[in-house]
Amino acid sequence: MLGKNRGILKVYAERNSGLFVGAEMFGPAAEHIGHLLAWAAQQRLTVSTMLAMPFYHR
């Protein structure tokens, strides 16, 4: 919509378990995803579980 669709999100997980351990992000409005990543870390989710969840972001 705004034509600002460039950025990067790096997700880090434990190799064997897939447990989400952190992320780095850069891009317009990237801070809107930060609380979801913090929640995922608090809940000790795996990256596979995170990918299976619905996510809506504009």
Q: What is the pLDDT of residue 29?
A: 80
* Per-residue pLDDT, 44: 97
Is the whole model's pTM more than 0.85, yes or no?
Answer: no
Instruction: Report percent pLDDT > 70 for the chain.
Output: 90
pLDDT over 90 at 24, yes or no? yes
Residues 20-45 have a mean pLDDT of: 91
Where along the chain do its domains lie? 8-52
CB proximity list for 18: less than 8 A, separation 6 or greater: 46, 47, 48
- What pLDDT score does 31 carry? 83
Q: Is 46 exposed, middle or buried (0-12, 13-18, 19+ CB in 10 A)?
A: middle
The pLDDT, as a whole number, for residue 2 is 61
